[in-house]
Structures are given as C-alpha cells and as structure tokens.
Amino acid sequence: MPIIDHSDIRLAPTTERVRERYLVSKDRGAVSLTVKEVEIAPGWEGRLHTHPVDVSIQVLSGAIQVILGDEVRTVRPGTTLLAPPGVPHKLIHHLWTPALLMITYPSAELVTDHLE
Amino acid sequence: MALPKIGTQVAPQIIPTNAGLRTWAAPPQALQNEIVPNELFYIRNHWKESPNIDINTFELKIDGEVERTITLSFEDLKKLPQKRFQVTFECCGNSPVPEYFTKSLRISSVMEQIKGHGIMGNAEWAGVSLKDVLELAGVKDSAVEVMFEGADHGADEVVGDPAEITYERSLPMAKALHEDTILAYEMNGEPLPKDHGYPLRLLVSGWYGMNSVKWLVGIHVLDHKFDGFYMTQRYMTMNEPGNPVPYRFYGKLQVKSIITSPLPGEIIPASGYTLAGAAWSGEEDIEEVEISTDGGETWNPVDKLHDREAYSWYRWEHQWNPPAEGKYTIMSRATNVLGVTQPMEFPNPWDGRGYGNNMVFPYDVEVRA
C-alpha cells in the first residue's frame, strides 16, 4: 500500500497561473480515485466546463471565486464545492493572494467538456 | 443551484476572510478608484449579527462629566449643522505581514492569506460634529476622555472570555472636540448601511478604523482614562524590549502607500504602463511618493500626486516603460510632511499580532510583449 509523503511531491506548473501536484493518482496505483492539490494565482479565469463524474473542490488556503448564475461567490477555507456529473461550473480568481485547492474525483482520468 | 451562464461578466465582490463572518475585505479592484462603493467597503465587526436599530425609537444618550445629561433622537441630530467630507481609514490589522514573520508568530493564518490590503477604504461621510453634540450637554472642566458605546455586544470573539462585553472605545478630549470628529449617518450619499453602523457611527478622521465605534448609542464623558476591554486587551501591541512605554496604542493612521494598478496577477505590457496607487498619513499631509521598479535599489518621485479631499487618501500615477520583458519587484514609498517615511520592514516584529503594518510592500509583477 503506498504511503504518500507530500514532501516528496512538488507543485509543478501546468498552465498559466496554475500549479498542481497529484497525491492519489494512477501513477501511484489508484484505479478509481484521484486526489490532487491545485494552486491558482490571482488574475486567472477558468472556462465554463462539465465532467461526467462528481468533482469536489475543497479550499485549503487563500480564496477562490465560483460563478453561480449571474453572481460571483467568494469561497474560503472551511468550504468545499461539489460539481455533480454534467453540471457546468467555472472558477475564477481576481483576489489578493493565491488559492490552494484539493480536488477529488472518482476516476483515474478526468474527461472535461469545455462550454466556452 | 443557479448554473453559470456562458460568458458571465465578473463583478468584483467583497471577500469573506473568516469563518465567523465578521470580517470582509475589499477586493483589489475596489481600491483602484477614489471612492470605494458601499457594497465593496471592508467590514470588520466583532459579532456575527449587526444590531437592528429602529431609527424611529433610536436614542443617543450623552452623560457623565457634563452640565446636563441629554438624550437625542435621530431627528434632533439631523437638525444640527451637517459636515460632509471624505475620510480614508484602515483596520490596524490591514495588509499582509511578510511570511518570514507569520511563520514564527501567532497570526490568524486564514485572514492573513486572504485580506491583502483590503481591510481599508475611502468614502464620503456626512454627519454632525461631535463637538456640537457635546456642547449641547456642556462638558465640565473635569472631563479627561470621552467613551463611545456601541449597541453591539456578546462574548469575546477570540477566546470567548469575557462572555459578555460591549464594544466601547474612548478618545482624548482634544480629538473628541476636534471639529472633524463626527457622528456619521451617511456613507457615499446613502443612509449608513447596517454593517457600517446604521443609523449612527462615530467617525474619527485620520485614525485607525476600530476607533470609529459603530451603532453608537451612548457618549460618556469621563473624569479618567478609560481602561475598557477594547482599549487595553485588544488593538494593543507590545513595544520592543527596553522601551519605557510597554504597549503601543493605535490612534492616528501611520504613513503608508499601496500600489493598486496593476491588479494582482495582471500582466504589464512591455510597451509601457501607468502604475497607480494610493498614499495616506491620517491627520498629516503626504509630502512625497516614490516608486522603485528594481526591488528598492533606486527610487524616483511619482509623476503625478493628486491632492486629497479632507481626510481621503492621495491618489498617484506613474508612467513606467520597462527596459525588457521579465519579472520585476516594484514598490511605492510615501513620506509625510513631518519627514516620516514608510519603513522597509514590518515595524512590529516583537509582537505577534501583525498590527500597524505600514512597511514598503514588495510587489512582484511580470512584463510581457
């Protein structure tokens, strides 16, 4: 059974203003679960998208903004977002300091359909 | 759950910084203009619920070392001469303390991460001079301080002890009798919003925000210095070892400046950019604001330093033509008319609360073609 030492894994840049690291992943033997940390820097805007599985997004530090209907809600540590299968969601970050998120989904790969 | 629509425009929103929902920071965009709109103005309350006060039954009591105890209705107050001017203030916990201090100190980590420079704002306030109200009661020669009682009360938010305490602060007579210390009932042309003290708050021009007691219901003229909980147990910091004055009290705002353009994360075009920001020193005028674009090695006065209105912040602008693409650390540094300049380091490292941070803030930016 893998014991995953977080200090062995570094946050690596993926796209503009985003760094991430996989804690539980197929590379470590997982077949139906992924857990990763994502750091998002100010000035970032995601695109509206869906996934075919549940995705949970827990705010570990900093804050992130989620768009609900016409409004923007700012969420902080002590908050977890759930994007059910097929439900469009979009995060943005126009705040003072980076957000660190823990993202969990019940698959080893994640399919994303962008709507914008 | 409301689903997001394609292409939703993103409006800036006030930022919740703690779990008890007592403190909200202004987003960076809110500090880019002279006036911070009411809905984006920071909120720092001590209890979750703001008091509900009925303006029709509202009473303000003035007692203590006065010739006559009086009670004023909201209508009585509105009949007094109106004062209307801009005032900038910040919470003494505003602005991030550098990480090399927060690691060793007992600073609220969540708020420290989220707040940025957002625990401050500038608005146009209207109300009446506290001096006019005190003169109606007649202040006795025995008066030493004036204590202000808010309608907000409850258990201490930090440790729950005391279990029941009312928000009360005091001012020395000289500041209480200054004509620009006002009892405000309007904020940016609207009745004071509930979270900002409706219907009446104290507004101590040029001083840190916690002095300006909200939901004001009592003014008590004292023949001694007030030593209440929020004067002696909160909003104080320890001075350095060996200082004959052991504690530091937060009255007048210190000299300070911030950069508001670019926004955090905004990319600066290599073709040039107008940096902008704010500077203030509470009761004092600002003499100069300087800019460094090389991490503090060299400094130049800003191109344009606009005058302030009453006690507002000074807005400044500076054209920057970066020599090349890449990463830069830019900084602004203000000096007031007394010759006091912002320190380069966090000024209170011997205290764990991170209060009174008026350091020169390094700001990392990226320049691209």
Residues A58-71 have pLDDT tens digits of 999 899 999 877 77
A16: contact with B, CB 8 A cutoff: no
Mean pLDDT (whole number) for B7-35: 86
pLDDT of residue B127: 98
Residues B280-300 have pLDDT tens digits of 999 999 999 999 999 999 999
A62: contact with B, CB 8 A cutoff: yes
Chain A residue whose CA is closest to B268: A43
pTM listed for this prediction:
0.93
Domain contains A53: yes
- By Cβ distance, the residue of B4, B7, B27 closest to A89 is B4
Residue at B333: amino acid letter = R
Domain contains A2: no
Query: Which one is predicted more confidently, B59 or A70?
Result: B59
pLDDT of residue B6: 66
Domain contains A116: no
B12: contact with A, CB 8 A cutoff: yes
Which one, of B197, B147, B185, B175, lies nearest residue B41 by Cα?
B197
Domain contains A50: yes
One-character DSSP codes across A8-36: G---EEEETTEEEEEEE-GGGT-SS-EEE
CATH number, span B256-368: 2.60.40.650
pLDDT of residue B353: 78
Residue extents of the structural domains in chain B: 15-234, 256-368
Range of the domain at A87: 9-107
- Cβ contact, residue pair B28, A96, below 8 Å: yes
pLDDT of residue B246: 86
pLDDT of residue B100: 66
pLDDT of residue B113: 76
Q: Domain with A66 in it: what CATH number? A: 2.60.120.10
The CA-atom distances, in angstroms, between A34 and each of A24, A113, B203, B216, B219 are: 5, 18, 53, 53, 60
| CB contact burial A11-42 (16+ within 10 A = b; e otherwise) | eeeeeebbbbbbbbbeeeebeeebbbbbbbbb
The rounded distance, in Å, linking the Cα atoms of B327 and A58 is: 31
The dihedral formed by the CA atoms of A59, A65, A67 and A72, expressed in degrees to the nearest 10: 130
- Cβ contact, residue pair B8, A88, below 8 Å: no
- By Cβ distance, the residue of A44, A76, A115 closest to B114 is A76
Mean pLDDT (whole number) for B341-346: 95
pLDDT of residue B109: 60
Q: What is the second-level CATH architecture of the domain B15-234?
A: Alpha-Beta Complex (3.90)
The dihedral formed by the CA atoms of A113, B2, B8 and B11, expressed in degrees to the nearest 10: -130
Number of inter-chain CB pairs under 8 A, A vs B: 103
- By Cβ distance, the residue of B2, B264, B266 closest to A96 is B264
Number of domains in chain A: 1
